[in-house]
Structure 1
């Protein structure tokens, strides 16, 4: 089966008509739909099962819950404040039927009839001549022969009342749900360690044995009705002895039914069964079926009660939040937050004061500060020249004394030295006269003071003003946060009321826990009863076989006995064969998905309990607690994939949020090895935090089409566009989970 197109009209967040073209090629088998949380991925995920199976789209099958769901799903036009009166989902798909590829269109439409749902189903088949879809009906055009007429009636002439049955036969729901799985289902299987229950609930449907079981039950009822009239009421001596054993069990067993079950289902009694055992076996069978029915009814009531308690707990939590319970619980955190903010405000205030008392005033007169800087630099030059003058005056006599000494250039005459001295003194005095014209300093400041002022002027840049703006903005934010905390503390709710609601929440949580425990125990007992029923059926069949050999049966009975034997053999052989296939497929899936090479070497599944056991290459068992969280999710994914593969059906895989809890290595395995090769069509619904730029590039060669599902806040509806977020690394933002 290949899904060609999905059309969602005014359903959920999808306002108006929205079309997804999902056609793929053998080389490009992946359809990638990206969307953030709340954009409509879950609605798209559920739309296929809703369109195909209506109220039976999930396992609950409750009419009221289904109607409420559809009522909530009518699109709401936020701009006009109206709710649509009609919604629909349509699917076009190719499926191999009678050796040919046929294309069908299934459309399910819902209308709001004053709070009640009117549902309409349409099944159409593509007509090659007109290239249009034509509705299936009861007309039979020009049948040439009875055989042709019969084939046409079977294929195309289906009354409207049988359309849903036609869909169920075409695509059985029990098989279809194996191919549509989300991260939540995988997480549930991985966390709850209930994979055996999941396999058990899917296996017989997967094999088509649910129909076989119904036939066996009908045949058993037919034979038991006949047998009850033929069995003699008087017990044989052997039966009397067995009755004494039964009486002992009745005295010791907790109830009569458990006594009968313990007696009639013991393996060692199998060879001792006689025809006389049939009547009490049938009686026990009737009691057991009644007990199963009663426990099943109690289970359903407990589930409803549990749902009500969960809703009650949710309402109590909402009430707790509304009256400020969250603030009450976080009171100490708020006190610490207030202290931290107060400390930050103090630091910010000090920095603002420091800037205002030092650099800020100078920033306001930058032109004048430049003039002061120039004058200070001029004063520094004047001081420097004055220092030079003092040095020359002090050293002038010393220079003359050195020049006139006998030790200085003794070969030169003394008169010549005196002339040199006179000329040199003359030059220096002329220089000193020039220096006398230099003005005195403008500021009467020391050299150190001038250096400090120049440093201050240099630091007083425009960046100081920017820093002041930044600090004042930060101060306002901190101050507002502090005021909010003070306000919340002032309106802190009444402690007694808070504690009352907390007690109510605790009581409801305890009640919920007790209900869950009671439900688990009851489901376990129910499962045991069903197992006992299977064993009891085997005992009854053994007695029926004895009776068949003992009495002369009618031809109808003989046929019924033969059919029962064939069905039993068929079921056992098929289970054995398919469990072996399932073990191989699960092992193959683990080999593809796990990043540890040859970590799991063998997989076994118990044919009675469906318990899965993993082994390493040494033959040692790998228990579930030895697996990491990511490996558990990979294990659950391989299990679901293995079941789907074992069904032998070629249906599309649709996977919602597949990578949420996986580490990098397992994500790469899924992207590189699993998604491209898992099916002839794989539809992935992902956020950009799962299939990011890196994984998109690895998956791109296998992508036939990609879409982005975006919720438009301004219009209050989801829109679809081609592509996948940004195709450049910088554009593909990663969400923080």
Structure 2
């Protein structure tokens, strides 16, 4: 089942062949595809032995359109013993196509992811492990899928004693669909050890207003029939990754190469993976039955098939080498861009700049030497006195000055008389009263101070020497210290400037050296890229040549297979299988030519709507799924890697593009879609989600959809609920439940 509209490539000419392919696809899904071919081959024996040979270019599958009709809407979700939900019943508000968004808020651990898993597992059961993106990453192969399904379900059973006693968990969902109401209930049972009893899994589907149990046609397994009806009426499993996902799945998609993302998206959207798998199974069936044929009219296909297999192996080997070269080219181109950016950032400077640095260095060296000489002179003159300290030198100066005063007071009478004679022998002569006043003061000045006794500690100094020493001591701490400080500051400035000039010269030399190294790296990378591109071109030519050689061989195998039809019915079936496989190959190639182009246009619209930088003008997807990105100037910028945020937006654009092509019918359930996006990208994604016209259920953390986000969504918001979680203090078992409205605590 596929929901892509207007695929005229599959306008079936032979209803019988359409029925055969549809039946085989259903059997593949039920038996696990290529992992269990024996039941599939047995079904092919009965289906292909009497079938008419299809025309080589005729179509064999029809893919119904989903562009019109009523949208599918989840109206009710009821959980029992499901992870943190012991008993939970959620009625989802109906806002119609005008208000399709429902917000379910809850902190981590409250059960948002449990709701997403319940939706996926309730719809698809075991197929959710292989087809739904967020459940796929932990499994691989049929055995891995089976083990992953068991482990996932065994972690699902609620840990309360009541749930363990019941040994059962279930998911019930009610939908409004184009065919009317549909309800489904899936139950899983566990033994006393809590291990899943896989054979007892139960699926019930009820339809209509009265919810009558869907009648199962005779001869088919009820669970397989119900699963087909679920995918026909509600959602195909192949499209589920684009409508049921979480933020981590988007990140995993974003980490893949763009071309790989596109090929996977288109293959799932068109159901090509299943068709390719069926074509491979048809060829394997033909080889298996041809090996079993024994008889007189045997046509030996062994040699031709061996040659085809050899060519297939060579193509696979060369394709692997080509993929490796593409990966290396991507890395080398990124390294080349980094080298160019590095060269641009390393300005080498001019010769004049270097000469200026050297002249500055010479000038500062001379200045440092001059200041060092000045400092040496000042320290030689005042250094010992400064080392003695200001306090000691000051006290010494005071003592010497006091001794000078004491000497003056103890002058001999004849000396005093001589001094007085000099005082009064001035011209013009003094008046008598002036002489009397001066005499009193002279005598008073020479009178020894009472109670003061001076100790002459510097008898070795005469009066002149004492005056000189006292002045020298005073000058050392007035002039000498200032000179030392000024000279020291000048020396520090010269030393610092010299260091900076030397560092600048060294930095310029270093940048010049790094630029030269980067230029050498760029030359080597350019040579490596040129060589890799040449090898890639050669490999493409080799692959095309090998494919050309395969065409006549395949035609010969088909011709030989026709010769076997009359000899053995099973050999006839092998011929029909090969023809069907060849027809499927041709049709898938024809579809890719049209759908890749249409998908590129849809991805371009979605990406431009999401990205806040208006740099990307067009995203072109070639017939082999190769992605080319063009900027506004029309230049190919594919090799310039997208940022992490842009890569995540590209993955979101793929998801949105699938939705736009499939038609706005299917419900979208997404867990934490915004947690790793910045504010502007969050608003872009919310705008994209708000533009949908079918039900959109957002399971959000408190930080994701805050008050202003709710305001942005308000015009399209049908309603909101939040999760409430409590823990039993006695058992430590947590229980979650739904509560109406959006808890104000959750809105920052």
SS in 2 for 1:10: strand
SS of 1:117's equivalent in the other structure is: coil
Deviations 1:281-301 (A, max 9, x none): 245379789999xxxxxxxxx
Separation of aligned partners in 1, 2:560 and 2:126: 49
In structure 2, the residue corresponding to 1:187 is in which secondary structure? Answer: helix
Q: Is there any run of 5+ residues in structure 2 with no aligned partner, and where?
A: 1-71, 131-138, 319-538, 567-571
- Which position in structure 2 is the counterpart of 1:577? 594
Work out the CA distance in 1 between the residues paired with 2:160 and 2:560: 75
Query: What's the counterpart of residue 270 of structure 2?
Result: 207
Match of 2:151 in 1: 68
Cα distance in 2 for residues equivalent to 1:113 and 1:533 = 58
Match of 2:213 among 123, 130, 135: 135
CA contact under 8 A between 1:209 and 1:571: conserved in structure 2?
yes
Distance 1:3 1:642 in 2: 22
SS in 2 for 1:73: coil
**Contact 1:29–1:679 under 8 Å retained in 2:** yes
Shift of 1:29: 0.7
Q: 1:542 aligns with which of 528, 552, 556?
A: 552
TM-score when scaled to structure 2? Answer: 0.50
Residue of structure 2 in register with 1:721 after alignment: 739
Q: In the alignment, which residue of structure 1 is the partner of 2:97?
A: 26
Does the 8 Å contact 1:136/1:158 carry over to 2? no
Q: Give the superposition deviation at 1:5.
A: 1.3
User: Match for residue 623 of structure 2?
Assistant: 607
Offset at residue 276 of structure 1 (A): 10
Give how far 1:611 is off.
3.7
Deviation per CA, 1:318-339: give whole Å up to 9, x if none.
xxxxxxxxxxxxxxxxxxxxxx
Gaps of 5+ in 1: 139-152, 234-274, 293-528
2:259 paired with 1:196: yes
Q: Number of aligned pairs?
A: 426
Shift of 1:193: 3.7
- Cα distance in 2 between the residues matched to 1:282 and 1:623: 36
Distance 1:231 1:68 in 2: 50
Q: By how many angstroms is 1:549 displaced?
A: 6.7
- Offset at residue 550 of structure 1 (A): 9.0
CA shift at 1:107, angstroms? 2.7
Counterparts of 1:698 and 1:181 in 2: how far apart (Å)? Answer: 22
Q: Secondary structure at the match of 1:710?
A: strand
**Map of 2:250 onto structure 1:** 186
- Root mean square deviation, CA, Å: 4.0
Note if contact 2:92-2:102 (Cα within 8 Å) is conserved in structure 1.
no
Q: Does 1:115 align with 2:132?
A: no
Using the alignment, how far apart are the partners of 1:551 and 1:164 within structure 2? 36
Q: Secondary structure at the match of 1:601?
A: strand
1:220 to 1:122, Cα distance in 2 relative to 1, 3 A: closer
Retained in 2: the 8 A contact 1:653–1:679?
no
Q: CA separation of 1:109/1:185 partners in 2, compared to 1, >3 Å: closer, same or farther?
A: same
**Residues 666 and 548 from structure 1, CA distance in 2 versus in 1: closer, same or farther, beyond 3 angstroms?**
closer
Asked if structure 2 preserves the Cα contact closer than 8 Å seen for 1:578 and 1:646, the reply is no
| Partners of 2:105 and 2:742 within 8 A in 1 | yes
Q: Deviations over 1:426-458 (max 9, x none)?
A: xxxxxxxxxxxxxxxxxxxxxxxxxxxxxxxxx
Q: Which residue of structure 2 lines up, in the alignment, with residue 680 of structure 1? A: 694
Quote the offset at 1:679 in angstroms.
Answer: 4.5
1:51 deviates by 0.9
SS of the aligned residue for 1:690 comes to coil
Q: Distance in 1 between matches of 2:153 and 2:147?
A: 10
Q: Please list the CA deviations of residues 578-615 of structure 1 after superposition, one character each: whole Å capped at 9, or x if unmatched.
A: 21121111111112212234x2211122433x343321
> Of the candidates 63, 76, 80, which is equivalent to residue 9 of structure 1?
80
Which residue in the other structure is 1:95 paired with? Answer: 177
Over 4 Å off, 4+ runs: 80-84, 221-233, 285-292, 532-541, 546-565, 623-626
| CA–CA separation in structure 2 for the residues paired with 1:16 and 1:539 | 64
Q: 1:278 aligns with which of 297, 304, 323?
A: 304
Q: Given that residues 5 and 93 in structure 1 are in contact (C-alpha distance below 8 angstroms), is that contact kept between their aligned partners in structure 2?
A: yes
Bigger-Rg structure (1/2): 2
1:292-307 equivalences in 2 (<5 Å)? none
Quote the offset at 1:219 in angstroms. 4.4
TM (norm. structure 1) is 0.51
- Partner SS for 2:201: strand
Q: Is the 8 A contact 2:164 2:194 kept in 1?
A: no
Residue 186 of structure 1 and its aligned partner are, at CA, apart by 1.4
The Cα shift of 1:231 comes to 9.3
CA distance in 1 between counterparts of 2:645 and 2:149 reads: 34
